[in-house]
Amino acid sequence: MAITRGLGTTGNAAGTVTPLDHKLAQSGLLAKQGAGSNLIRPGLFFDGVTAIVTGTSGMSYNVAPFTAALSRGAAAGTVLLCNDGTVNVVTTAAPGSNSRIDVVYAWQREFSLDGVDSDPVIGVVQGSPAAVPVAPSLAAFPGAIELARITVPAGVTATNSGPTITQSAPFTAAAGGVLVFRTTAERNAAVVADGTLGYVVASGLLQMWRADVAAWVNVDGVFERGRLGFSSVTAGAGGVQDLSGVVSFAAVPYATVIDLETMCIVDLTASPPSARSVNLGFNTTAGTLDQDMSGNIEWAASVAAAGSSRVITQRASVSLPASTATDIKLRWNPSGNAVRAFASAWRYTRRRA
């Protein structure tokens, strides 16, 4: 297709600026799904509200205000529209048996393409009841955005009690802006261009899609972080003890560094009184858990005189080669196999080497 007429120009004998010219030009303002493409990422513009569709005391749904960008494809351009108030969408009665899936959607009808008129539509389609229901298709509404899908059990009379509402409206942004994702799973399902920034609400991480490594990487170089909260044990007579659980790190196609930090509180008053030390370690054996702590990073924290407790904080970094997965677990081993009361917590970050 040839270059189109620019917005704001006036017509002459060669023709006027058409609706398609407008829509194609508008695509340049939106986040794209890939390099060298005029195919936008359709969706709503995030305004702080993630729950767009909510239930009611009857068989209907409320749709919150939103602004959106819709597209039927790269050659069709982009339609920008606004819903400036809560819209109530009525669905049908619940099935008598099994369950069904309702899909609430937003769609821009166009007279030149669809007939009837060019009114925007916020509607709902119902799937067929089944033991394992399937979501209905939106193929009859080209370019529509799915706002939510709702599992409707048999016999319910209200959508705010019984049905399960899953928010499925994607979010979009201006070109170069930050895309918002509710969850990591939603982020992973997105098709975006190299260098796209994304914010995951569930984790609070700001990340960038790196096409060269096919991964979302935190803008500070860290692409994975987390923590394990305090766990308390009274153990030691059996030697090496597991503490706060396992964190599994998946293989990625480049070398990474895992930074580890722990804080431990240990009771050093238990008998025998001469055994007043404890070895702390993170297992770092790729793909397995080392039961005897050999090869671990370990610290010895010794106390010469009796005391009620000792707070120990330690840090370490573990290098992980490309395409290597590992499990990491915090472990301890009190000297002399003495029984100790122990509480621990640790946190980690993973960054590209």
φ/ψ of 3, rounded to 5, equals: -60, 145
> Residue 212's pLDDT band (boundaries 50, 70, 90)?
confident
Confirm if 347 and 255 have CB atoms less than 8 A apart: no
> Does pLDDT of 156 surpass 60?
yes
> Does pLDDT of 132 surpass 50?
yes
| Residue 45, strand partner residues | 172
The average confidence (pLDDT) of the chain is 81
> Residue 36's pLDDT band (boundaries 50, 70, 90)?
confident
pLDDT, greater one: 232 or 74:
74
Q: What is the spatial distance between Cα 232 and Cα 109, in angstroms, rounded to a whole number?
A: 61
DSSP symbol at 184: H
The structure tokens 């729950």 sit at: 51
- The percent of residues above 90 in pLDDT, for the chain, comes to 43
CB neighbour list of residue 94: distance below 8 Å, 6 or more residues apart: 59, 100, 152, 153, 154, 155, 156, 157
pLDDT in tens, 234-249: 655 555 666 656 777 8
Confirm if 33 and 191 have CB atoms less than 8 A apart: yes
Q: Which of 97-106, 166-175, 321-330 has the lowest mean pLDDT?
A: 321-330
> Residue 263's pLDDT band (boundaries 50, 70, 90)?
confident
| Residue 348, strand partner residues | 226, 260
Q: What is the pLDDT of residue 161?
A: 94
| Residue 326, strand partner residues | 249
Confirm if 202 and 182 have CB atoms less than 8 A apart: yes
The structure tokens 């982009």 sit at: 78
Mean pLDDT of 297-321: 61
Q: What is the pLDDT of residue 293?
A: 40
Burial 204-216 (b: 16+ CB within 10 A, else e): ebebbbbeeeebb
pTM for this predicted structure: 0.64
> Does pLDDT of 333 surpass 70?
no
- The percent of residues above 70 in pLDDT, for the chain, comes to 73
Q: What is the spatial distance between Cα 190 and Cα 181, in angstroms, rounded to a whole number?
A: 9
Mean pLDDT of 179-183: 93
Q: Which of 161-175, 186-200, 201-215, 262-276 has the lowest mean pLDDT?
A: 262-276
